[in-house]
């Protein structure tokens, strides 16, 4: 497309030069022909300027539009990418000419079938969701639509135009909503059950206590009764967690120093780290803004992450905690959208299999014999209530990195 622009502009420029030369050479003769040439030249110059304006207008439109535009020829090679597309993929304009369009797709088989649809069958594709891959290998979801490009003269198809939009934000939001929905349903359910179980448990406990006292301390029946009391206490503890999960108290947000929160939780965990042969490293960024959160809820989140990291390293290892300020840009306009504090907690444990990465945030998903599977779902819920979020990266056998994002402004909620 840009080539077409350029060649037309070039032709117009040559014409301009030609007439300009003609005008200068004949300017002094004063013959009627000269006057005719001059008026023709002026008319052409005017037309040229009008055309130039139209070119510039269209070029500006294409380059400044926030959607990504990619055109390909009949050989499925890229002929043009606009600025938004280049920025999204991390390519330079010149490097993209002639590149196969399939290299933009994360899944090459899917790319082949799309190329077949748009080029061979010449069918349009509308609002299709696929994954693209950037130059540096980052995969991101997009929604795209295609249309056929016709030769300027005649009706022959010259290629295809892809118009796409990065839908990472929408996709994340959709996943979050699905997760919240599941949590809410489960929350209501467990609140009801927990409530119903608590009352009879209280009755069993007091009866068992009476029994325990009615036998002499060494009697095996007293020991059995005491065991009943202990097991009931354990169940009550579990029910308390259900309640927390079902109805987390509304966050009492205020300004807090994120380092102090982390140091506080570390102090609690330090004896356990030592016992399990786990070293602890911290790398806190300087002069970070304060976070606007419920301190005890964020402490609970960090505690859950530390406990999981310890569980993932039965033979010891290390936990590294980092803090940083993250500037979040709007992908299409490249302007600063918001700031968050990101706390990353990395361990050197067994890691998480890729197919389990989404599941670990689901309530009751656990891979542990003695796990309940609520730690991460409660954490993700608490973070959402505080205007934050959580993500995970992991390589099996090498460890896991959990990142939590905390708000530094009040407005986000
Ligand atoms: N740092 C980690 N390394 C490896 N796997 C992890 C890590 N953190 C969580 N997981 C996986 O995610 C699962 C869910 O974690 P979650 O904290 O929700 O529940 P849990 O630890 O199993 O039980 P609990 O309710 O007692 O916390 C874990 O069972 C484990 O398989
Ligand atoms: Mg846990």
Structural domains of the chain ordered from first start = 2-166 (3.30.450.20), 171-246 (1.10.287), 254-407 (3.30.565.10)
Q: Which residues line ligand 1 (CB under 6 A)?
A: 304, 308-309, 312, 347, 349-352, 360, 365-368, 371-377, 400
Mean pLDDT, rounded, for 73-94: 92
Asked whether 246 and 191 are in contact (CB, 8 A), the reply is yes
Does residue 22 or residue 63 have the better pLDDT?
A: 63
Q: How much is the pLDDT for 18? A: 65
Mean pLDDT, rounded, for 386-398: 94
Asked whether 100 and 108 are in contact (CB, 8 A), the reply is no
Q: How much is the pLDDT for 369? A: 86
> How far is Cα 52 from Cα 172, in angstroms, rounded to an integer?
43
| Closest C-alpha residue for ligand 1 atom 20 | 373
| Ligand 1 center–CA 358 separation, angstroms | 12
Report which secondary-structure segment, H or E, holds 63. helix 32-64
Instruction: Indicate whether 413 pLDDT > 90.
Output: no
- What does residue 31 show for φ and ψ, rounded to 5 degrees? -75, 155
Q: How much is the pLDDT for 1? A: 47
Residue of 360, 374, 390 with the most ligand 1 atoms within 8 Å of its CB, for mutation: 360
Q: How much is the pLDDT for 235? A: 87
DSSP SS3 for 348: coil
| Ligand 1 center–CA 241 separation, angstroms | 15
Q: What percent of the chain has pLDDT over 90?
A: 49
| Ligand 2 center–CA 302 separation, angstroms | 11
Least distant ligand from the CA of 377 = 1
Mean pLDDT, rounded, for 265-278: 93
Q: How much is the pLDDT for 195? A: 72
pLDDT tens digits, 110-160: 999 999 999 999 999 988 999 999 999 989 999 999 999 988 777 788 899
Q: How much is the pLDDT for 329? A: 78
Distances (CA, A) of 360 to 298, 316, 380: 19, 22, 11
The pTM of the whole model exceeds 0.75:
no
| Ligand 2 center–CA 402 separation, angstroms | 13
Least distant ligand from the CA of 390 = 1
**Which residues are within 8 A (CB) of 412 and not within 5 positions of it... i.e. 6 or more apart?**
338, 387
Six-digit token string for 221: 């029946």
> How far is Cα 81 from Cα 58, in angstroms, rounded to an integer?
14
Q: How much is the pLDDT for 143? A: 92
DSSP SS3 for 119: helix
Average pLDDT across the chain, whole number: 85
- Residue 297's pLDDT band (cuts 50, 70, 90): very high
Instruction: Indicate whether 26 pLDDT > 70.
Output: no
Does residue 379 or residue 34 have the better pLDDT?
A: 379
| Closest C-alpha residue for ligand 1 atom 9 | 308
Quickly list DSSP for 96-130.
HTT-BGGGGBSSHHHHHHHHIIIIIS-----SEEE
Instruction: Quote the distance between the C-alpha of residue 359 and its chain's center.
Output: 17
Residue of 313, 351, 371 with the most ligand 1 atoms within 8 Å of its CB, for mutation: 371
> How far is Cα 281 from Cα 317, in angstroms, rounded to an integer?
11
Given the CA of residue 308, which atom of ligand 1 is nearest to it? 8
Q: How much is the pLDDT for 412? A: 41
Q: What percent of the chain has pLDDT over 70?
A: 87
| Ligand 1 center–CA 355 separation, angstroms | 14
Closest CA to 341 of 279, 409, 278: 409
Closest CA to 349 of 309, 296, 409, 393: 309
| Ligand 1 center–CA 164 separation, angstroms | 37
Least distant ligand from the CA of 364 = 1
Lowest mean pLDDT among 31-35, 175-179, 255-259, 328-332: 31-35
Lowest mean pLDDT among 117-126, 240-249, 294-303, 372-381: 240-249
Mean pLDDT, rounded, for 173-188: 71
pLDDT tens digits, 31-54: 555 557 778 778 888 888 888 888
> How far is Cα 255 from Cα 294, in angstroms, rounded to an integer?
9
Instruction: Indicate whether 27 pLDDT > 60.
Output: no
CA angle 221, 223, 224 (to 5 degrees): 65
Quickly list DSSP for 198-236.
HHHHHHHHHHHHHHHHHS-TTSHHHHHHHHHHHHHHHHH
| Ligand 2 center–CA 373 separation, angstroms | 6
Phi-psi region of 22 (alpha: psi -120 to 50; beta: other; left: phi over 0): alpha
Six-digit token string for 204: 């069993």
| Closest C-alpha residue for ligand 1 atom 26 | 371
> How far is Cα 119 from Cα 157, in angstroms, rounded to an integer?
9
């Amino acid at each position: 497309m840009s080539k077409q622009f350029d060649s037309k502009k070039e032709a117009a420029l040559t014409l301009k030069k030609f007439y300009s030369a003609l005008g200068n050479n004949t300017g002094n003769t004063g013959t009627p022909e000269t006057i005719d040439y001059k008026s023709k030249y002026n008319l052409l110059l005017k037309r040229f300027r009008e055309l130039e304006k139209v070119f510039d207008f269209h070029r500006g439109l294409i380059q400044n539009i926030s959607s990504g535009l990619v055109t390909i020829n009949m050989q499925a090679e890229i002929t043009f990418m606009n600025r938004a597309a280049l920025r999204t993929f991390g390519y330079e304009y010149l490097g993209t000419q002639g590149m196969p369009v399939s290299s933009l797709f994360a899944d090459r088989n899917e790319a082949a079938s799309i190329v077949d649809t748009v080029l061979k069958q010449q069918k349009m594709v509308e609002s299709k969701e696929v994954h693209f891959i950037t130059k540096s290998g980052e995969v991101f979801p997009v929604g795209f639509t295609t249309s056929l490009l016709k030769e300027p003269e005649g009706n022959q198809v010259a290629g295809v135009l892809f118009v796409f939009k990065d839908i990472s934000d929408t996709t994340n939001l959709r996943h979050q909503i699905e997760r919240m929905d599941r949590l809410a349903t489960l929350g209501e359910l467990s609140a009801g059950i927990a409530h119903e179980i608590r009352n009879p448990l209280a009755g069993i406990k007091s009866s068992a206590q009476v029994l325990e006292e009615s036998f002499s301390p060494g009697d095996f029946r007293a020991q059995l009764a005491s065991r009943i009391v202990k097991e009931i206490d354990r169940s009550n503890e579990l029910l308390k967690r259900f309640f927390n999960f079902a109805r987390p108290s509304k966050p009492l947000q205020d300004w807090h120093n994120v380092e102090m929160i982390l140091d506080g939780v570390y102090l609690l965990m330090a004896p356990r780290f030592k016992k399990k042969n786990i070293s602890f490293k911290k790398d806190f960024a300087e002069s970070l803004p304060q976070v606007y959160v419920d301190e005890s809820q964020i402490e609970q989140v960090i505690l859950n992450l530390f406990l999981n990291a310890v569980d993932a390293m039965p033979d010891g290892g290390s936990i590294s905690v980092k803090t940083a300020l993250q500037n979040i840009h709007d992908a299409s306009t490249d302007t600063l959208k918001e700031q968050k504090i990101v706390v990353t907690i990395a361990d050197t444990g067994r890691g998480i299999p890729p197919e389990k990465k989404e599941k670990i945030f689901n309530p009751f998903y656990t891979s542990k014999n003695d796990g309940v599977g609520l730690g991460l779902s409660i954490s993700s819920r608490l973070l959402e209530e505080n205007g934050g979020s959580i993500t995970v990266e992991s390589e099996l056998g090498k460890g896991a990195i959990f990142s939590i994002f905390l708000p530094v402004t009040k407005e986000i909620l």
